[in-house]
Structure 1
Amino acid sequence: MKLRAYLLMTFVVAVWGSTFVLIKGALSDSTPAAFNLIRMTLAFVLLAIAYHRSWRTIRRSDIGAGALVGLCLAAGYQFQTTGLARTTPSKSAFITGLVVVLVPLFSIVPALRPPGARSPRWNAFLGATLAFLGILFLTSPSNIRASSSLSSLLPDLSSINVGDILTFGCSIGFAFHCIALGHVSPRIPFRPLAILQVGFCTIFMAVSLPLIEHPHVHFTPRLLIALVIAAALATAAAFSIQSWAQSILPSTHTALLLTLEPVFAWITSFLLMGERLGLRPASGAILILIGIAITELIPQPHVPTAHEA
């Protein structure tokens, strides 16, 4: 049973990693928010059908919790996909992976901690420091206008990509989604919670669509394939598989498997798009992975979920 859980979780992480490249290509045929709305609508329909028996178990008290979790999820996806349209798939994946660092870091605030959770330990602060240092190396070029060789090693913050900043906003949104799940998931069964959060996520995406962009969609085979994979595999199926696997595997093992997501994203981007990381951004990516690993070597209050592309 454990072997099957490891294999399925590795499959889920690989799907999440590969969707960065898939969605990046599809955004040539659709604006980001419009893509998100169609994707989430399809995912909601699939979950509503698959979990049709769970509709009657939804209580009035669950609706507010589902709306809060759905709002955080919508914010994460909107920032992520909008940022992905303006940056590279591997950068997007590595920056999104910071959610694993941000969740324990935000737990400094007592009100944000789920019941029974402890305050962050030293490894959370060390991991955050390394991860944020890595993000500077990954997203900003060296300061070629510097007067000395030492200062040239410092990042040129004025040239950071707008897409990278938006993607960092997505990692914050997904971090709050994880924290919200930590508060509500103990008292709401997974199936009705999945229906509620994806349903409200769809509603918030529909409301925010005209505020974010002038939507445009040109249906092509590339876009349709991306929508089906993103909705069916990377959202509906991944939610279900991860929920089952996390009931079997230790939380630290699941978290460390999640750190492979940006690695799969870079491999897919290299194979399909020929994207190469230079020495400086590659060093930044390694620092981010080290920071994530250090953060999760000592068990934290809860494990991030649903931070796929």
Structure 2
Amino acid sequence: MTSRTSFLPTLGLLAMTAVWGSTFVLIKDVVARMPVADFLAVRFAVAALAMLALFPRHVWRLGRTGMVRGLALGAIYGCGQLLQTWGLALISPSVSGFATGMYVVFTPILATLLLGQRMAGVVWFAVGLATAGLALLSLNGMSVDAGVWLTLASAVLYALHIVLLGQWSRPDVAFGLTSLQMVAIALVCLLATWPHGGPMLPPDRAAWLAVLYMGLVAGAGAILVQTWAQAHLPATRAAIVMTTEPVFAAAFAVALGSDVLTWRMLAGGALVLGAMYLVELMPRRSAALGAEAAHHEV
């Protein structure tokens, strides 16, 4: 893959993680006033309805196999969302952020186990850098309790979603695949609200605005960008780029005055960005070496 063809997908993933990073304050406010599963159910139901209304033909063009894949991807992601949310109820947000970000480690492991992909040494080094950066950004001590195990389980599901999306996504199926993912995520979250009689609706206008933003922009829009980008990027590279989410979250927290800039933020952010730079540098270096070799052959 050339640096030119990887630049826009990487930029898209960075924009997506920036949007995700901007949502932490909104989520914290909304889930303080309505149950988490209800929030997720309404959020993704809104996203699913919007996508189906806009792209019905793209869904039908997927065919049976594509539809099954879209629903499977959504079910995996939806279960990951619920596990992460349930884990968050038991542990601090910082530990949750680190445990969730461990998908950067699980992604190359699953790609190796499931697909037989061989990872270059520099990829594993970048994974290590990103993990160290996540730890600096998120951790101030960590006890491995039930909440951590739930969140690590969600990270495994996110990694599986990234690996399978990398295998199944193509630019021409992005709209249809995203639509069905939204449907499956909404169904999984709606099922989670069943024990208490179905989802509670947002209690006021501010909550509705937050849910709409989370559903349309940070939900459907972000997954659409991820689905398109992963048609162009290897799964492990996508996972490493996506670890910039806590960097953006920290930046927004500082900019909005809800947090204070610390050396841990700076050092952790530098390590995550360094990891991303490494995986972005690899295809450029390979292309340059290939061009140099071709020049010498001539």
- Whether TM exceeds 0.5 here: the answer is yes
Report 1:1-309 matches (<5 A).
Answer: 10-84=14-88, 92-93=96-97, 95-109=99-113, 112-113=114-115, 118-134=117-133, 140-141=139-140, 157-158=142-143, 166-186=150-170, 189-210=173-194, 219-243=203-227, 258-272=242-256, 274-276=258-260, 279=263, 283=267, 286-287=270-271, 290-291=274-275, 294=278, 297-298=281-282
1:178: how far off?
1.0
Query: Structure 1 length as normaliser, TM-score?
Result: 0.70
Contact in 1 for aligned 2:106/2:159 (Cα 8 Å): yes
1:48: how far off?
0.2
Q: 1:26 to 1:78 in 2, by over 3 A?
A: same
Whose helix proportion is higher, 1 or 2? 2
Q: Give the gaps of 5 or more residues in structure 1.
A: 142-155, 300-309
Contact in 1 for aligned 2:87/2:148 (Cα 8 Å): yes
Contact in 1 for aligned 2:162/2:235 (Cα 8 Å): no
Contact in 1 for aligned 2:50/2:216 (Cα 8 Å): yes
Q: 1:220 to 1:272 in 2, by over 3 A?
A: farther
Contact in 2 for aligned 1:101/1:291 (Cα 8 Å): no
Q: 1:170 to 1:281 in 2, by over 3 A?
A: farther
CA distance in 1, matches of 2:202, 2:79: 24
Structure 1 counterpart SS, 2:78: helix
* Number of residue pairs matched by the alignment: 279
Contact in 1 for aligned 2:90/2:146 (Cα 8 Å): yes
Q: 1:246 to 1:127 in 2, by over 3 A?
A: closer
Residue deviations 1:144-194 (CA, integer Å, cap 9, x gap)? xxxxxxxxxxxx543x68655544433222111011213332598222222
Q: What is the identity, as a one-letter code, of the residue corresponding to 2:165?
A: L
Contact in 2 for aligned 1:68/1:180 (Cα 8 Å): no
Contact in 1 for aligned 2:98/2:138 (Cα 8 Å): no
CA distance in 1, matches of 2:250, 2:279: 22
CA distance in 2, matches of 1:43, 1:119: 36
Partner of 2:291: none
Residue deviations 1:38-64 (CA, integer Å, cap 9, x gap)? 111000001001102224324233343
CA distance in 1, matches of 2:139, 2:244: 23
CA distance in 2, matches of 1:84, 1:286: 26
Contact in 1 for aligned 2:67/2:180 (Cα 8 Å): yes
1:37: how far off?
0.8
Q: 1:211 to 1:162 in 2, by over 3 A?
A: farther
CA distance in 2, matches of 1:230, 1:268: 16
Contact in 1 for aligned 2:76/2:158 (Cα 8 Å): yes
Q: What is the identity, as a one-letter code, of the residue corresponding to 1:124?
A: V
Structure 2 counterpart SS, 1:107: helix
Q: RMSD of aligned C-alpha atoms?
A: 4.0
Contact in 2 for aligned 1:24/1:89 (Cα 8 Å): no
Q: 1:11 to 1:55 in 2, by over 3 A?
A: closer
Q: Which deviates further from its counterpart, 30-39 or 127-136?
A: 127-136
CA distance in 1, matches of 2:139, 2:14: 31
Q: 1:23 to 1:161 in 2, by over 3 A?
A: farther
Structure 2 counterpart SS, 1:189: helix
Q: Which deviates further from its counterpart, 194-203 or 237-246?
A: 237-246
CA distance in 2, matches of 1:278, 1:164: 25
Q: 1:21 to 1:293 in 2, by over 3 A?
A: farther
Contact in 1 for aligned 2:44/2:182 (Cα 8 Å): yes
CA distance in 2, matches of 1:60, 1:125: 37
Q: What is the identity, as a one-letter code, of the residue corresponding to 1:260?
A: T
